[in-house]
Amino acid sequence: MRIAAGSWLTIALIVSACASPRATAPAPTALAATAPAPTAPVAPTPSPSETPAVSAVASAAPGRPHVFVIVMENASLARALAAPAVGTLASKYRVATNYHAVARPSLPNYLALTSGSTWGVADDDDHALPAGGIGAQLSMAGVSWRAYMEGLTAGGCRNSPYPYALKHNPFAYYGGACPKNVVPFDALDADLAGETPQFVWITPGLCHDGHDCALAEAGPWLAQLVARIVASASFRERGALFVVWDEGDEGDRANLVPLIVVTPDPAARRSAELYDHYSLLATIEDTFGLSRLGAAASARSLTDLLSLRGP
């Protein structure tokens, strides 16, 4: 689904094989297109079906869109929303209640979110994948972007200590090298106060993402981060924030996870439409006028969680 004209952008938070995922060229219309459903790799999870509709993540209006993505870890929809800090965010903003991760463990979900494919990866190990992914797309299109990694040090993408985790940095896998756009999380506040990249990816460390620490600790950290982003000029002008969890609790075969969408028009809303990680990638690519990669080509865009708003 391509995105219809409008001057505000919605921000969402958030989280093997041989050839690169196939890219499908977007329609030449001004940010509106329809697409059929993705096929979720998890057997019990049905695939989203196409719903022709209009979304407002990007527009031809003056100004540059800004998309923010925060990827959290390992929580089901019910457990995440039961945590007070996360539940408060969900009550203020927009929530997809039928959003699914596409694999287990973490790494293949991060690859799906950034390239439209799990590449047949079924572990969290290091893998040499072909160059590509959303980062390469953005660079080729001249769209500024940065991925902020908590715990990243001078040791780089493969040698930084805890709480950094390579398996939660998908950009390090494409082409076997970490692009210069991947930076320490500490750089975020200065960028929010100055020249904010148009696409911002945030990977918290292993405690603050909820992987190693309880949501009682990770949730308030997340809420403070959301507040800083929402207060930034780049978000207020044409921003959208997506907070997503990479995968659900062990034993949940449906892999149902939360997706919280924050926009400059903070109307609370819940959507029961069927979405998955490919839907989020498709929405980001549509926003910036990029070809859809891999399974994102047939994914349903996050239409009903996005809204038009005038200047």
- Contact indicator for 248, 262 with CB cutoff of 8 Å: no
Question: Domain 11-20+64-275 has what CATH class?
Answer: alpha beta
Cα–Cα distance measured from residue 21 to residue 230, given in angstroms and rounded to the nearest whole number = 33
| H or E element, residue 277 | helix 277-287
Does the pLDDT of residue 172 top 70, yes or no? yes
| Predicted pLDDT at 48 | 47
Please, which pLDDT band fits residue 183 given cuts at 50, 70 and 90?
very high
Least confident of 87-96, 141-150, 258-267, 301-310: 301-310
| Predicted pLDDT at 306 | 86
The model carries a pTM of: 0.82
Looking at residue 42, the DSSP 8-state letter turns out to be: S
- Contact indicator for 304, 37 with CB cutoff of 8 Å: no
Mean pLDDT of the chain: 84
| Predicted pLDDT at 251 | 84
| Predicted pLDDT at 307 | 65
Report, as an integer, the average pLDDT of 300-305.
Answer: 93
Share of the chain above pLDDT 90, in %: 74
Please, which pLDDT band fits residue 22 given cuts at 50, 70 and 90?
very low
Q: Buried (b) or exposed (e) across 69-84, using 16+ Cβ within 10 A?
A: bbbbbbbbbebbbebe
Does the pLDDT of residue 46 top 80, yes or no? no
Between 223 and 50, name the one with better pLDDT: 223
The residue extents of the domains of the chain are: 11-20+64-275
With H, G, I as helix, E, B as strand and everything else as coil, classify residue 79. Answer: helix
Residue with tokens 């926003």: 287
Contacts of 82 (CB under 8 A, 6+ apart): none
Least confident of 230-234, 250-254, 255-259: 250-254
Report, as an integer, the average pLDDT of 209-235.
Answer: 98
